Amino acid sequence: MFNLLPSVPQLLFVLFGAMALGCAVAMVAQRNPLYSAISLVGVFVSLACLYLTLQAPFIAAIQVIVYAGTIMVLVVFVIMLLNVEEEVRRPLRLTYLIPVGVLLAAVLVGEAAFMLSLGSSAPTPAQTTSGSDVGLTASIGTGMFTKYLLPFEVTSVLILMALVGAITLARQGRTPLFAAPGNVDEEPAVLTAGGDVAIKPGDTAATGRAYAREQIRSGDAAAPSTSAGEEER
Amino acid sequence: MDWLSNQIGADWARALAQFVGINVGFVVVLMIVAYTVLAERRVLGFIQGRLGPNRVGPGGMFQPFADLLKFIFKEEITPSASTRFVYFLAPIIAITAALMPIIVYPFGPEVWLPFLGTFPLVIARFDIALLYVLGITSVGVYGVALAGWSSNSKYSLMGGLRAASQMISYELSLGLSLVGVVLMSGTLNLYDIVVQQGGGGGVLNWNIWSFWKAGTCPQIIGFITYLISAIAETNRVPFDLPEAETELVAGFHTEYSALKFALFFMAEYVNMFTVSMLATTLFLGGWQGPFVDVFPWIGIVWFLLKVVFFLFLYIWLRGTLPRFRFDQLMNFGWKFLLPVAIINVILTATVLYFRWS
């Protein structure tokens, strides 16, 4: 009676495979950038579930933590802060790229068909890896800190450089990290007609008073009722 | 179990058992959460010198159900210019991400039942349980951020942004404060971590202060950094800036009403419960306690007692502490908590290196 049931891994594969495909199509087809970002999160999560069915739990967890949990949160943040509008449909430019796209899609489909024809005779990944420790946390850690130590360290230096670069770019408008000629915005002192220094650079209270006096003179603001008002801060 | 396996195959029997287990777990956790809300209101009342809700049922015992009924029958209001789909999706993400981690926490040792045989008291037992918890927690940010954005209200947006940046910032120190325990136990499987905290010596074997057993290092710094970042991660007092009512009305759920608000509300308390369970499991020995060897079922009692202690701590803090300012919160997280968590990792690694060699 229950022989028609698919096996559990088969069912999970179909379920999450369909979810990944659907989310991927939705991501490309959506015109609202935020919907695209949410669809991409869906793709990442369903891919992580597929990794789980392929007995690679560590990769699955890292997929969710790094991509879905960190990178996409930043993307969503940027979309939210910039308040990106919905894309409008524009007339297609670069029409000569269409045949190239069709050709590449044909190559991809052909490759997939070739792999599927191979796969029917070869053992499925789940069978080959079930006995080994490939994809487990311990084996990945051992490999990363022994055999692949140098690439691992070089990659971390690369990421550190990106971090330093981002901080340098973000700070450029404000206090410069390195005081060099042309790097510091010099604020000129305000001089009286006689040549004496009236307001020193950085004296905000004095500049505020000068601005208020200027406004009163030009009639943009009413003069204070008492004569002592000008001395108040 | 054997009969079921013969009928539909071992795989499906296991899947069915897991399905039943997960749903029972969800119902139990939601019941505990409902009574946590009641306990919070009563304890806050006690701290503030008033009574709290005590009219519905004996001592207010049925208050959670009255609240739920009220939530269900309130009017659902959708802001006119909201992003409709995301507005509906956000509370679902919040409650799903809150409920999913509860399946990996072991709440008792291996027990025996007629017809079922011997089995450990944990719904799902797998190797990357701790990473799974951290991964789901990091996805939970979306619920809050999207809720703030889709409501099309400035208070919601500010609350959502604050909540998301706060959760991202404190996730780092939360994850790093757990690394010490992982270094000690050499596994990410929560059940194995609890088993390792047992044996002779009893309470002294808990990870928070275990030093007498071979290959251990007391995790008191890790425990404190975890506790602080967990409070920030769940957006509770004194880190409840996302819903600071004096400036942001109610933060990211300003525009939510009825059952959708209830989902956010439940998600907050489920999150509180799960971080308490994680603290219990990793630092305070999980279900380990006196007489567990003789009578395994008593493990559930020890586990719940420890979790309830943490829940009470949460409520206590809410009753006593004022709220941080946002820049103070960020400075504290990045300039104090994160370095301390990193120092704890280095310390633990050094101590373990010398104790092993």
| Residue A160's pLDDT band (cuts 50, 70, 90) | very high
Distance of CA B312 to the CA centre of its chain: 14
Instruction: Identify which of A48, A57, A77 has the shortest CB distance to residue B164.
Output: A77
Which sign, positive or negative, has the C-alpha torsion A153, A156, A160, A165?
positive
Domain stop point among A66, A86, A106:
A86
A135: in domain: no
pLDDT at A233 exceeding the cut of 60: no
A2: in domain: no
- Which residue out of B82, B131, B192 would a mutagenesis test of the A interface target, given it has the greatest number of A Cβ atoms within 10 Å? B131
Q: Which residue range(s) make up the domain with A55? A: 7-86
Contacts 24+ apart (CB under 8 A), A86-95: A86/A31, A86/A32, A86/A33, A87/A31, A87/A32, A87/A33, A88/A31, A89/A31
Instruction: Identify which of A58, A70, A76 has the shortest CB distance to residue B138.
Output: A70
Chain B residues within 8 A of A35 when measuring between CB atoms: 85-86
pLDDT at A201 exceeding the cut of 70: no
Helix (H, G, I), strand (E, B) or coil at A58: helix
Chain A residues within 8 A of B146 when measuring between CB atoms: 38, 76
A128: in domain: no
Contact A61 B8 (CB under 8 A): no
Chain A residues within 8 A of B161 when measuring between CB atoms: 77, 80-81
- Model confidence over A84-113: pLDDT tens digits? 666 676 777 777 788 888 999 999 999 988
Exposed (0-12), middle (13-18) or buried (19+): which is B104, by Cβ within 10 Å? buried
B117 DSSP β-pair partners: B113
**Cα dist from A176 to A173, A180, A202, whole Å:** 7, 9, 16
pTM: 0.78
A109: in domain: no
Q: Report the CATH number at residue A17.
A: 1.20.120.1200
Domain stop point among A24, A51, A86:
A86
Q: For chain A, what percentages of helix, strand and coil (3-state, to nearest 5) are there?
A: 65, 0, 35
* A188 Cβ neighbours under 8 A, 6+ residues apart: A201
| pLDDT computed for residue A120 by the predictor | 58
Domain stop point among A40, A65, A86:
A86
Which sign, positive or negative, has the C-alpha torsion A77, B132, B329, B91?
positive
A195: in domain: yes
Q: Which of A88, A43, A80, A46 is nearest to B86 (CA)?
A: A80
pLDDT at B125 exceeding the cut of 70: yes
| pLDDT computed for residue A127 by the predictor | 47
Domain count, chain A: 2
Distance from CA of B266 to the nearest CA of A (A): 22
Chain A residues within 8 A of B19 when measuring between CB atoms: none
Contact B8 A2 (CB under 8 A): yes
| Residue B145's pLDDT band (cuts 50, 70, 90) | confident
The span from the CA of B308 to the CA of B306, in Å, is 5
Chain A residues within 8 A of B143 when measuring between CB atoms: none
Mean pLDDT (whole number) for B246-259: 78
Copy the structure tokens of residue A143: 């490999």
Contact (CB, 8 A) for B128 and A58: yes
Exposed (0-12), middle (13-18) or buried (19+): which is A123, by Cβ within 10 Å? exposed
| Residue B290's pLDDT band (cuts 50, 70, 90) | confident
- Which residue out of A55, A73, A78 would a mutagenesis test of the B interface target, given it has the greatest number of B Cβ atoms within 10 Å? A73
Contact A61 B127 (CB under 8 A): no
The span from the CA of B354 to the CA of B357, in Å, is 5
- Model confidence over A116-137: pLDDT tens digits? 887 655 455 544 444 556 667 7
- Report the mean per-residue pLDDT for chain A: 76
Copy the structure tokens of residue A175: 């206090």
What letter does residue A209 receive in the DSSP assignment? H
Chain B residues within 8 A of A12 when measuring between CB atoms: none
A219: in domain: yes
The span from the CA of A114 to the CA of A106, in Å, is 12
Choice between A161 and B288, residue whose per-residue pLDDT is larger? A161
Contact B128 A137 (CB under 8 A): yes
| pLDDT computed for residue B256 by the predictor | 83
Helices B129-139 and B84-99 pack at an angle, to 10 degrees, of 160
| pLDDT computed for residue A157 by the predictor | 93
Contact A65 B134 (CB under 8 A): yes
Q: In sequence order, what DSSP letters do the residues of B270-327 get, joined into one string?
A: HHHHHHHHHHHHHHS-TT--TTTTT-TTHHHHHHHHHHHHHHHHHHHHHHH--PPPHH
- Model confidence over B83-108: pLDDT tens digits? 778 888 889 988 999 998 888 888 88
| pLDDT computed for residue A158 by the predictor | 93
pLDDT at A228 exceeding the cut of 50: no
A122: in domain: no
Distance from CA of A117 to the nearest CA of B (A): 28
Q: Which helix (H) or strand (E) holds B183?
A: helix B154-185
Contact A8 B15 (CB under 8 A): yes
The span from the CA of B259 to the CA of B267, in Å, is 12
